[in-house]
Amino acid sequence: MAEKQQKLDALKRLSLLFDDGTYELLDGSADAGARIAHGTVYGTTVFAYAEGGCGAFSTATAEKLSKVYSLAEKTGSPVVAIYDSKGVDLNGGGLTLDACAKLLSRCSRVSGVVPQIAVVAGTCGGFESVCASLADVCLMESNAEFFLTAPFNDTSDSEASKIAGTAEYAKKASAAAVICDGEEALFAKTRQVVGILPSNNLEVPPFCDFAEPETNPADDAVLGTVDAGSEIELFSGKGRSSRTYLATLMGSPVGVVNINGRVCRNDTLKIARLVQFCDAFSLPVVTFLNSDGFVVSADNDMNGGIRNAALLSHVITQATNVKVAVVTGNAVGSLFSVLCGRYAAADLCFAWNNAVIGEIEPKAAVSVMWNDRIEKDSDIERLAVQYAAEEMSAEKALKDGIVDKVITPETTRSAVAASLDMLASKRVSNISRKHGNMPY
């Protein structure tokens, strides 16, 4: 854990958030140490609520935060909520509960309308942890506290109880998307997140300054494709084989999914979360896939693997944003259909020239399709290589219409950028209905 640093008050935190440290307060008093203000972040108007670590979350502070959400909704501006309090005021009784319910309604009402960014700078517990978790992106300082129920109330000796309330715990629980050491780094990263997002769901994403990557895509598909230094990894504590990012590509904001290895139930849930977020604000999603499919585990399937795979499929097929997939290695089984299928998951699908694409792994395919050629066990390895080259190659996938183009790793950045530019005017309408039923 990072060395503890001096905590900042609400006004100092607001100055770190806004351009040139300049903002206008929207309240007349520092009730319970909470202040509300508006200013700009990279020129975009933003409304903010900031706690300073003194006092409890009262009816008055709930009304302040509700006011911020109301103004953000009226103007189509992002909301940044900075949490650090002693918890809900116990003297407020039913009035505080009612004010909290009103605030939850406000948070949900603007979900997908304006970006909501939560910043856990100190203690964020109980009701406030629910508000923070409703945000699109939650960032947390490494020494802050984040919990739904007070950690000291859990007297068990479980591994989770030993780290409950910490940044490590919030990271593993996917409650916090980004962890930063120190408040200056925390607010610098918050500004970066706000700056990469549109003001609201009707605005086009901003164009950002960018630099060419210094990495070859063959060494790192993501860092070799997106603009240098633009990547913001989200939810790194979840999923064994996936990494999800916000980034820019040729200055344009994108969501990025990078998969290397078999996908578990946490991977699919994390990917679905990014896709849904990007779709809400019309950010394209670029997916890099190198996987032999879903993990082979009855435990994984029983504890959410099947359901979460279906959830991912539901989210990605309902998403109307631009979706581009690149097969960077293996793409085996139903995972290809879920993430790269051109009739649901991707508008365009590219494959590197060394890609392997098929229903099952080459060894398993040989055991079924070329069983008559196997005379001894050593034949399987040789035949699997031959089968992959003849029946599962990128060129075969292109010939069969499974992918749109075969590219080299070195041309990935230019190919993806050109496809995003071509698809920028995409317009799709879903069937009229109240909502689909997600397989939670």
Q: What is the distance between the alpha carbons of residues 47 and 38, in angstroms, rounded to a whole number? A: 4
Name the band, by pLDDT with cuts 50, 70 and 90, for residue 2. Answer: very low
Q: What is the distance between the alpha carbons of residues 119 and 136, in angstroms, rounded to a whole number? A: 11
- Across 33-37, 55-59, 112-116, 377-381, least confident range: 377-381
* Domain final residue pick, 171, 196, 221: 196
More confident residue, 173 or 31: 173
- Residue 286 placed within a domain: yes
Q: What is the pLDDT of residue 325?
A: 97
Strand, coil or helix: 149: coil
Are 160 and 67 found together in one domain?
yes
- Reported as half-sphere exposure (CB side, CA atoms, 13 A), residue 221 has a value of 26
pLDDT mean over 352-373: 85
- Residue 440 placed within a domain: no
Are 137 and 251 found together in one domain?
no
Q: What is the pLDDT of residue 359?
A: 87
Strand, coil or helix: 11: helix
Name the band, by pLDDT with cuts 50, 70 and 90, for residue 435. Answer: confident
Are 295 and 417 found together in one domain?
yes
Are 318 and 269 found together in one domain?
yes
Q: What is the pLDDT of residue 47?
A: 98
Are 190 and 294 found together in one domain?
no
pLDDT mean over 249-263: 97
- Residue 213 placed within a domain: no
- Residue 366 placed within a domain: no
Q: What is the pLDDT of residue 30?
A: 58
- Residue 429 placed within a domain: no
Q: What is the pLDDT of residue 56?
A: 80
Q: What is the pLDDT of residue 1?
A: 40
CATH of the domain at 275: 3.90.226.10
pTM of the model: 0.93
- Across 150-154, 273-277, 332-336, 359-363, least confident range: 150-154
Q: What is the distance between the alpha carbons of residues 400 and 48, in angstroms, rounded to a whole number? A: 53
CB distance 355 to 331 below 8 Å: yes
Taking residue 439's Cβ as centre, other Cβ atoms within 10 Å add up to: 13
Handedness of CA 68, 69, 75, 79 (dihedral sign): positive
Residue 436 has pLDDT above 90, yes or no: no
Q: What is the distance between the alpha carbons of residues 107 and 116, in angstroms, rounded to a whole number? A: 8
- Residue 367 placed within a domain: no
Are 27 and 165 found together in one domain?
yes
Q: Which two tokens stand for residue 222?
A: 């993501």
- Residue 320 placed within a domain: yes
Name the band, by pLDDT with cuts 50, 70 and 90, for residue 164. Answer: confident
Percentage with pLDDT > 70 across the chain: 96
Are 258 and 152 found together in one domain?
no
pLDDT mean over 129-155: 89
Are 184 and 246 found together in one domain?
no
Residue with structure tokens 């998951």? 345
Range of the domain at 78: 10-196
Maximum mean pLDDT: which of 17-26, 32-41, 146-155, 365-374 = 17-26
Name the band, by pLDDT with cuts 50, 70 and 90, for residue 80. Answer: very high
Domain count within the chain: 2
Q: What is the pLDDT of residue 384?
A: 83
Nearest Cα to 397, choosing from 369, 347, 428, 357? 357
Tell me the per-residue pLDDT of 53-64, one tens digit each, with 9 for 90 and over.
667 888 888 888
Are 95 and 23 found together in one domain?
yes
Q: What is the pLDDT of residue 263?
A: 96
Are 258 and 315 found together in one domain?
yes
- Residue 182 placed within a domain: yes
Q: What is the distance between the alpha carbons of residues 90 and 382, in angstroms, rounded to a whole number? A: 71
Are 161 and 28 found together in one domain?
yes
CB distance 326 to 287 below 8 Å: yes
Name the band, by pLDDT with cuts 50, 70 and 90, for residue 241. Answer: very high
Are 241 and 190 found together in one domain?
no
Q: What is the distance between the alpha carbons of residues 427 and 25, in angstroms, rounded to a whole number? A: 40
Percentage with pLDDT > 90 across the chain: 70
Maximum mean pLDDT: which of 38-42, 86-90, 160-164 = 38-42
Residue 314 has pLDDT above 60, yes or no: yes
